[in-house]
Structure 1
Amino acid sequence: MKKIFSYILLGCLSLHFSACKDFLDLEPISTATDQNFWKNEAEANSGTAAMYALLRKAFNAGENGTMFFDYGDFPSDEFNTARMFGDSREIALMNWSLPIQASNTWRSMMVARRYDNFYRVIDQANRCIKWVPTVPLDKFTSSNAERARNSYLGEAYFMRAFTYFYMARVWGDVPVVLKSADNIADAEDLPRSPQTEVLAQALKDVDLAIANMQYTNPNAADAGVRANKSAAFALKAHIYAWMGDYAKCVPAADSVIERGGLALADRSNVPAMFAKHSTEGIFEIAMSDESEGTVQGISFYTLRTPYMRTILGNPSFGIDTVRLHRLFADTTDLRLRSGFAFYNSTEEAFCIKYSNVVYMLPNNTGAVSRNNLVVFRLSDIILLRAEALAATNQYGKARTDLDLIRSRAGIGASAATDGQLFEEIMEERARELYLEGHRFFDIIRLLRKTGTNKISWKLTETEFAQGKYYWPLDPVLINLSARLTQTAYWSTKF
């Protein structure tokens, strides 16, 4: 029998045991096994850290190292697709059934249609859930051993919840795997579970994460890059927003905003929020050291000199400047002034959020991008709460949240009517969270709630109703398992 997870688990078994010199800097230990690992707190910590490393690999995958943006930004209204090329352009145009040879496993379109990397995260989370509770408390060096062990367990539940939520937004229905396979031969051949079941499991896991986690000091050394209770509540708020259950989204967001100890960062220095963990970072993927940074990724396609000294012409992937001018009609906006270069000049404007670049070799060569991937931050959750409040007709409270973000950006209160408020909040999210992996998913929620379509030229009303915004599975996956079916819209497109 074909085993859909056999090739996935093969990679996991070679990766999941690791020692971390720096956080997320993995060093596989080939002789380790589950039975002789998991003996003390250092190993529990190392096993837990491996989940984040695997998630970073998933988000940095593809030939351009931009998978996080391939899913969350490229198909949105942020980019000028005429200025893109290769698979990235086809991804942006939502031509997701582009034929790819099975051997071209490096192609971005191939990688985007496969969920291998995400199941590696889940497999590691399943191992942590199974083995962390077996580590004896007397082998912990933390002052509160039980709390430390619970926190590692909470991180595992969080990562499993987050990964299933992320996959549910990308593919809709996906197989649900809740235990690791001790032997590859025993790996189950599973069908796709309905998205409702996937999200229900994510909510169950996130509640277990919350029960085991603590709110932690936002200024701690590993703040933001290790999940805590704030990250779990942020995830819960996002799950409910995606489900359209806005009444439950509000209290989850409240828990982050009111108890997380976070503070809005300086809008006059937007790139600083991505250089390292900021005062408002909730959950982010660490890439701010040389050992974590990348020699490819979003910086190399959206920047040019003087922000990327090795690129003299315009950025490889140009943003939609017409859309940008409409979005930032108020040019006093601090997010525009410090987050974009060459706006309203004779040169092409581009986003400089990811301009934290260092050069490891002489003559400005050997560029390494050291920008954290910020998944959740305080502004996101404040505006998500505003969205939920507007959706539940609590317009006054929604305006308070919306205008707080606008005030921090140096612009006045919104003049939108109650009937316009939901869409105006989504436009504010577009301003605040530009090129941060949110916009495409925000567009889908806006379409669901109001019918307003910001990308009608590539996602018609009929295509939306048919579920085109959910990715297909690559035919390679379908061929591996007789129990897998193609995403409904794409079933006749290959």
Structure 2
Amino acid sequence: MSKLKYIKNIVLASVVVLTSSCADSFLDVNPTESVANNSVIVDGATAQTAILGVYSQLQNRLYYGGDGYAATAYLSSGDHIWVGTLNYYNAFPSHTYRADNTLLNNVWSQIFATINGANNVIERVNALPETQITTALKNQYVGEAYFIRALAYFDLARAWGNIPLVLKPTVSPTDFKGVKQSNQKQVYQQALNDLDTAENLLPATVNRNRATKKTVYALKARIYLYNEEWQKAIDYSSLIIGDSNYELVSWQTILNNLNTRESILELAFNTADQSAHFGSWSSKDYRNQFAPGPGIFNDLQNAVNSGDRKLLIEDNSSSAIRNYFVQKLYWRATGENPTYILRLSEQYLIRAEAYLKLATPNAALALQDLNKVRVRANVLPLNIVDTQLLLGAIANERKLEFALEPHRWFDLTRTKKAGEVLGVTDSNLWIFPIPFNDLEVDDDLEPNPGYN
């Protein structure tokens, strides 16, 4: 990682002071305050401030805030376009990104800043004496930090493949000299190890804005799918699907509300701290924003397959501007638009795909899960028994269901379909280049294949 830039973030590590107005939400996002890591975590109150600061890093515009990490996936998928003036975004639809791409550099740095915040909570909160924090709160905050670190490493691995694993807070540029990159499988395993720890620490409660044991189950199901551990993907997705606290709700309900029963984990914003999804995707003047492309718009208008998901994109075309489409998923009249990280529909589609990848595929159960999602979207159920046809139907369902969530590009790369679907036949382009700035300052990093 970029030691020079990174250490600046770490020594002055920003911890955002946030307050929560109710137990089941992460609602009030106040202006940031910088607090030095060597003094921030000294008791229960500062431990809470620190873990909320890690959530704030997760919400940063360059990570899950809208136009950073998520943008690399949106644009690479072929379904979305960039109509602004920042050319480094346009490298993603054309798959011409290079190691000096500004967006990749900034996203990489932000995700590692998130990891470093989690590492600080893990180390420093664990070290607090019982006189300063209750065991329950210590377990909760540390468990949340392990969950966020797992998510961050998983996201790095599926985007960059080979990355360094840093599991302690960084204080000086030489702290992790000699740390080589781990391969994608090793990073996935580290994420699963972190989730095992988080599972043992977190409460089995429902909180749609903070990590709990149930949130761990959902992320484990996703990572096991990527790791091709099909039975475990089935087992963990089933824990969520079988939980009465979660249910599929109508798309109108999702678009009009926050924290619906379908939501497993969503990040909350407010009018004072809107996500970049709101600004970059909802502009009415067609400048400096992302836009759904005509292909995905047409797919979502096809009621035979998409049904109520046509509500996700609005056509604002005019005689002056053709093919001008605006997303509605992250639009709320109050500005309190969420960012979805884990939803129940994904768990059904994870389980459906995993059923078909078992040594003895179970097409009947896969079809049942697929049709649950289709019927919820007001689409007629399918009647398919052929395994390959079913896999294709599930892939298409994921494309429509997550048309405005960063899944499609990673679905195409993990299933090795990016060449067939997008014409990206050079598999080296299925992962991003390690940022040039980091390669220059860290002798332990090596370029990803194809980016020498």
- C-alpha displacement at 1:72, in angstroms? 2.1
Residue of 418, 422, 434 corresponding to 1:455:
422
- C-alpha displacement at 1:17, in angstroms? 4.4
Residue 293, structure 1, aligned to residue 249, structure 2: no
SS of residue paired to 1:91: coil
Residue 10, structure 1, aligned to residue 8, structure 2: yes
Residue 160, structure 1, aligned to residue 149, structure 2: yes
What is the aligned partner in structure 2 of residue 382 from structure 1? 348
- C-alpha displacement at 1:426, in angstroms? 1.3
In the superposition, the TM-score normalised over structure 1's length comes to 0.80
Residues 236 and 249 in structure 1, CA contact (< 8 A), matched pair in contact too = yes
- C-alpha displacement at 1:414, in angstroms? 1.4
d(CA) in 2 for partners of 1:353 and 1:293?
14
What is the aligned partner in structure 2 of residue 413 from structure 1? 381
Residue 56, structure 1, aligned to residue 32, structure 2: no
d(CA) in 1 for partners of 2:348 and 2:317?
30
Residue 471, structure 1, aligned to residue 432, structure 2: yes
Residue of 227, 246, 249 corresponding to 1:265:
249
Residue 340, structure 1, aligned to residue 313, structure 2: yes
Residue 239, structure 1, aligned to residue 223, structure 2: yes
| 1:251-277 deviation line (CA, Å, top 9, x unaligned) | 11112222372122222244235xx32
Q: 1:47 to 1:333 in 2, by over 3 A?
A: same
Q: 1:405 to 1:165 in 2, by over 3 A?
A: same
Residues 149 and 191 in structure 2, CA contact (< 8 A), matched pair in contact too = yes
Q: 1:60 to 1:37 in 2, by over 3 A?
A: closer
- C-alpha displacement at 1:66, in angstroms? 0.5
Residue of 11, 17, 20 corresponding to 1:19:
17
| 1:68-115 deviation line (CA, Å, top 9, x unaligned) | 332321111312578997222222211111766xxxxxx435424xx2
What is the aligned partner in structure 1 of residue 397 from structure 2? 428
Q: In the alignment, residue 291 of structure 1 is paired with which amino acid? A: A
d(CA) in 2 for partners of 1:26 and 1:130?
26
- C-alpha displacement at 1:301, in angstroms? 4.1
| 1:332-351 deviation line (CA, Å, top 9, x unaligned) | 85433422223999974443
What is the aligned partner in structure 1 of residue 122 from structure 2? 129
Residue 170, structure 1, aligned to residue 164, structure 2: no
Residues 84 and 318 in structure 1, CA contact (< 8 A), matched pair in contact too = no
Give the total of aligned pairs.
439
d(CA) in 2 for partners of 1:146 and 1:333?
48
Residues 83 and 318 in structure 1, CA contact (< 8 A), matched pair in contact too = no
Residue 66, structure 1, aligned to residue 42, structure 2: no
Q: In the alignment, residue 266 of structure 2 is paired with which amino acid? A: E
Residue 193, structure 1, aligned to residue 182, structure 2: yes
| 1:269-313 deviation line (CA, Å, top 9, x unaligned) | 44235xx322221122222x123314xx3344443xxxx5xx246
d(CA) in 1 for partners of 2:62 and 2:347?
21
Residues 237 and 253 in structure 1, CA contact (< 8 A), matched pair in contact too = yes
Residues 402 and 425 in structure 1, CA contact (< 8 A), matched pair in contact too = yes
- C-alpha displacement at 1:166, in angstroms? 0.6
Q: 1:242 to 1:24 in 2, by over 3 A?
A: farther
d(CA) in 2 for partners of 1:199 and 1:259?
26
Q: In the alignment, residue 490 of structure 1 is paired with which amino acid? A: Y
User: Which deviates the most, 394-403 or 257-266?
Assistant: 257-266
Residue 354, structure 1, aligned to residue 359, structure 2: no
- C-alpha displacement at 1:441, in angstroms? 0.8
Residue of 365, 371, 374 corresponding to 1:403:
371
d(CA) in 2 for partners of 1:10 and 1:125?
16
Residues 87 and 109 in structure 1, CA contact (< 8 A), matched pair in contact too = no
| 1:401-425 deviation line (CA, Å, top 9, x unaligned) | 1111111111111134423001111
Q: Between the two proteins, what is the percent identity of the paired residues? A: 22
What is the aligned partner in structure 1 of residue 111 from structure 2? 118
Ranges of 4+ aligned residues in structure 1 off by more than 6 Å:
81-85, 343-347
d(CA) in 1 for partners of 2:153 and 2:287?
37
- Alpha-carbon RMSD across the aligned residues, in angstroms, is 3.0
Structure 2: stretches of 5+ with no match in the other structure: 21-27
Residues 341 and 350 in structure 1, CA contact (< 8 A), matched pair in contact too = yes
Residues 14 and 28 in structure 1, CA contact (< 8 A), matched pair in contact too = no
Q: 1:336 to 1:18 in 2, by over 3 A?
A: closer
Residues 146 and 194 in structure 2, CA contact (< 8 A), matched pair in contact too = yes
| 1:23-50 deviation line (CA, Å, top 9, x unaligned) | 55364354x553x543332222111111
| 1:309-364 deviation line (CA, Å, top 9, x unaligned) | xx246995443323443455325854334222239999744432122255xxxxxx
SS of residue paired to 1:214: coil
d(CA) in 1 for partners of 2:84 and 2:112?
33
- C-alpha displacement at 1:241, in angstroms? 1.2
d(CA) in 2 for partners of 1:413 and 1:476?
50
Q: In the alignment, residue 378 of structure 1 is paired with which amino acid? A: L
Structure 1: stretches of 5+ with no match in the other structure: 101-106, 218-222, 359-368
SS of residue paired to 2:75: coil
What is the aligned partner in structure 2 of residue 490 from structure 1? 451
d(CA) in 2 for partners of 1:43 and 1:82?
42
